[in-house]
């Protein structure tokens, strides 16, 4: 059977499974809609958290990103896993004991203030929307790459699927679909990895194969370092970023992970405090399976790529190369006219390939934006996961699996984020502020309407991606680090922290982060371009600036709180209460 047929079958079967679960897990109350009734087992919650967390970017782009960045790619590996240690030790158990529905709930009650609640809602919306736009685009890309469906139609199909299980089941439907999606995505990620590891190193476990020997008796990583040096790249195992910047980016990603509302809210769904701790551990275990495999795939595919293309005649190149050239993820420009592919350090083109409708002497697609550097090859980083099974000559069903896995990763994350957005509106804004005496039924209806609106907005972002989206998705972590994380941690560990301190800290933190982002990363449309690297504060990249903004938030919060009145007695009692695990059941009855 062809890849196309296999892909339709696998995507069809997995979608049918998600629909089946959605109908089985309909939500009847707001508690079921917001936190799945608080009765999810730690194992199921661990899987759901892992699927929620691992997005289209983790599944499709991360291995490729590491493949091209080498050691520098470690920031993502450590940054996106280490945050779970903070989450498990510093946040999850206490927030579970507090036992309401959302992060703004905690901020609003702990800081006895609707201003604090509103600031938290705004932060949650900014963080979640920047994040969800990328997911919808990811769904569209998977559809267009594997099924030759128009990218916009792909986005619309993805939206409709999320709509069904999120609308019907809320958190309950999402949780159990995410469990299924985790199984699909991890299977789809691991199967090609086992095959390739076996082929290249003779060891089926990629984590071990990565450090193994290749036929010639030399270590794979040493071979790759040598190849890199020969072609003028940096050694694969050493980095180019400054140590401080690697430090800052890793910390911003870790703290940001622990502060992302769609991750935190997952820990409200388990029955007890000890379940919250355990499910954080299980979540990280499930995530680690993918996150320790990705760097191995990066090494395998990097070596494979260089060996397959470097100094080879274009006309002799395998067919996958030409297939991906046709979809626009590869471009070759024969600058020195020798008919061979020279792949060396440096950019081959100015930006992304701009194809002209003509073929060159060897049948390659011509581009109009080649530069004068020696490198002749442009390779999109996403290709490392998408094309890996083809490069390694794996069976068609394995290639099709990657499509189903990519869709599972994108849909599960999108669903989690959309729920946070709709909860922020129906619960934190309508129920808690605008219409406190709204009925249970009315609130549930409001939640369902806002999820539809959120899906439509997210879909529009996917169809008409504003230029800044790609640039700011990575910064969503910086925003979360600069706003929520300090307010929650201080709320638990500093009894003296009061509303003035927390509100001032959150506002200063997120504003500082936004300003730095605009000045050094995105620029302001029509007004000014982003300032260059040489102007960065202490050499900190915008991705790493979340670390500084977070520290500023902490300092501002502490100073302001010490200059103003202590929080009232009942809030201090609340803090005492969440520090002790027993009685989480009663605390959650709303």
Partner 1 sequence: MSDKLKRAKAYWKENLRYLLILLSIWFVVSYGCGILFSEELNQFRLGGFKLGFWFAQQGSIYVFVILIFVYVRLMNKLDKKYGFDE
Q: Which residues bind partner 1 (CB under 8 A)?
A: 66, 71, 73-74, 77-78, 81-82, 84-85, 88-90, 93, 207, 210-213, 219-222, 237-238, 243, 246-247, 250-251, 272-274, 277-278, 280-281, 284-285, 288, 291-292, 295, 576, 579-585
Q: Closest distance between partner 1 and the C-beta of residue 582, in Å?
A: 4
Which residue number, 207 or 369, has a Cβ lying nearer to partner 1? 207
Which residue number, 233 or 461, has a Cβ lying nearer to partner 1? 233
**Cα–Cα distance, 451 to 279 (Å, whole number):** 26
Q: Identify any residues that bridge with 528 across adjacent strands, giving them in sequence order.
A: 524
**Cα–Cα distance, 125 to 118 (Å, whole number):** 11
305, exposed or middle or buried, with CB in 10 Å at 0-12, 13-18, 19+? buried
Indicate if the alpha-carbon torsion angle 43, 46, 49, 55 is positive or negative. negative
**Cα–Cα distance, 405 to 416 (Å, whole number):** 17
Q: Closest distance between partner 1 and the C-beta of residue 274, in Å?
A: 6
Q: Which two tokens stand for residue 485?
A: 């994380």
Which residue number, 459 or 491, has a Cβ lying nearer to partner 1? 491
**Cα–Cα distance, 106 to 469 (Å, whole number):** 29
Q: Closest distance between partner 1 and the C-beta of residue 558, in Å?
A: 18
User: Cα 29 vs. chain centroid, distance in angstroms?
Assistant: 30
How far from 454 is each of 35, 143, 262, 457, CA to CA, in Å?
A: 18, 22, 14, 5
Containing 118, the helix (H) or strand (E) segment is helix 114-147
Q: Closest distance between partner 1 and the C-beta of residue 489, in Å?
A: 11
Containing 366, the helix (H) or strand (E) segment is strand 365-367
**Cα–Cα distance, 315 to 320 (Å, whole number):** 13
Which residue number, 116 or 276, has a Cβ lying nearer to partner 1? 276
Q: Three-state DSSP class for 397?
A: helix
Answer yes or no: are the C-beta atoms of 107 and 117 closer than 8 Å: yes
Q: Which two tokens stand for residue 103?
A: 């992060």
Which residue number, 72 or 390, has a Cβ lying nearer to partner 1? 72
Q: Closest distance between partner 1 and the C-beta of residue 91, in Å?
A: 12
Q: Closest distance between partner 1 and the C-beta of residue 278, in Å?
A: 5
Q: Which two tokens stand for residue 435?
A: 């219409």
Which residue number, 20 or 211, has a Cβ lying nearer to partner 1? 211
Q: Closest distance between partner 1 and the C-beta of residue 280, in Å?
A: 6
Which residue number, 179 or 584, has a Cβ lying nearer to partner 1? 584
Which residue number, 220 or 407, has a Cβ lying nearer to partner 1? 220
Q: Closest distance between partner 1 and the C-beta of residue 224, in Å?
A: 10
189, exposed or middle or buried, with CB in 10 Å at 0-12, 13-18, 19+? buried
Q: Closest distance between partner 1 and the C-beta of residue 26, in Å?
A: 29
Rounded to 10 degrees, the C-alpha dihedral 266/134/449/264 comes to 20
Q: Closest distance between partner 1 and the C-beta of residue 325, in Å?
A: 30
Which residue number, 306 or 556, has a Cβ lying nearer to partner 1? 306
Containing 377, the helix (H) or strand (E) segment is strand 377-379
Which residue number, 89 or 361, has a Cβ lying nearer to partner 1? 89
């Amino acid at each position: 059977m062809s890849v196309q047929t296999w892909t339709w079958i696998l995507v069809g079967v997995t979608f049918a499974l998600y629909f089946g679960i959605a109908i089985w897990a309909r939500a009847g109350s707001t508690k079921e809609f917001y936190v799945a009734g608080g009765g999810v087992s730690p194992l199921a919650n661990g899987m759901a958290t892992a699927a929620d967390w691992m997005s289209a970017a983790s599944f499709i782009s991360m291995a490729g990103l590491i493949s091209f960045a080498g050691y520098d790619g470690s920031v993502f590996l450590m940054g996106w896993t280490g945050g779970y240690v903070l989450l498990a030790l510093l946040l999850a158990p206490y927030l579970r004991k507090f036992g309401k529905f959302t992060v703004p709930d905690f901020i609003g009650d702990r800081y006895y203030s609707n201003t604090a609640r509103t600031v938290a809602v705004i932060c949650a919306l900014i963080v979640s929307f920047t994040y969800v736009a990328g997911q919808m685009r990811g769904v569209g890309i998977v559809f267009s790459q594997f099924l030759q469906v128009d990218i916009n139609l792909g986005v619309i199909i993805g939206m409709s699927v999320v709509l069904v299980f999120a609308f019907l089941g809320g958190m309950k439907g999402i949780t159990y679909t995410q469990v299924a999606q985790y199984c699909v995505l991890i299977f789809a990620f691991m199967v090609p990895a086992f095959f390739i590891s076996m082929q290249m190193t003779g060891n089926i476990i990629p984590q071990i194969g990565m450090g193994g020997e290749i036929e010639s008796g030399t270590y794979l990583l040493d071979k790759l370092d040598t190849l890199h040096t020969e072609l003028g790249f940096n050694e694969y195992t050493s980095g180019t970023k400054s140590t401080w910047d690697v430090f800052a980016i890793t910390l911003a990603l870790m703290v940001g992970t622990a502060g992302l509302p769609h991750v935190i809210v997952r820990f409200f769904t388990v029955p007890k405090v000890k379940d919250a701790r355990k499910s954080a551990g299980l979540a990280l275990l499930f995530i680690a399976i993918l996150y320790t495999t990705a760097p191995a795939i990066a090494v395998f595919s990097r070596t494979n790529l260089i060996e397959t293309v470097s100094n080879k005649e274009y006309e002799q190149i395998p067919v996958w190369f030409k297939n991906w050239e046709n979809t626009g993820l590869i471009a070759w420009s024969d600058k020195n006219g020798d008919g061979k592919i020279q792949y060396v350090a440096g950019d081959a083109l100015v930006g992304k390939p701009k194809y002209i409708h003509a073929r060159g002497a060897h049948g390659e697609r011509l581009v109009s934006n080649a530069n004068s550097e020696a490198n002749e090859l442009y390779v999109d980083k996403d290709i490392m996961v998408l094309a890996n099974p083809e490069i390694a000559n794996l069976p068609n069903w394995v290639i099709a699996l990657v499509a189903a896995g990519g869709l599972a990763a994108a849909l599960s994350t999108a669903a989690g984020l959309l729920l946070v957005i709709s909860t922020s509106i129906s619960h934190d804004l309508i129920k808690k502020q605008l219409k406190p005496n709204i009925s249970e039924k009315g609130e549930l209806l409001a939640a369902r309407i806002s999820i539809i609106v959120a899906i439509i907005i997210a879909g529009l972002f996917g169809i008409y991606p504003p230029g800044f989206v790609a640039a700011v998705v990575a910064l969503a972590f910086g925003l979360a680090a600069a706003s929520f994380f300090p307010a929650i941690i201080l709320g638990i560990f500093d009894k003296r922290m009061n509303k003035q301190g927390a509100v001032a800290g959150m506002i200063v933190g997120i504003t500082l982060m936004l300003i730095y982002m605009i000045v050094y990363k995105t620029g302001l449309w029509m007004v000014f371009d982003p300032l260059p690297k040489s102007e960065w504060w202490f050499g900190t990249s915008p991705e790493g600036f979340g670390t500084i903004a977070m520290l500023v938030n902490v300092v501002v919060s502490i100073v302001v709180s010490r200059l103003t009145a202590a929080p009232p007695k009942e809030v201090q009692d609340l803090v005492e209460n969440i520090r002790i695990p027993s009685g989480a059941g009663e605390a959650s009855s709303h």
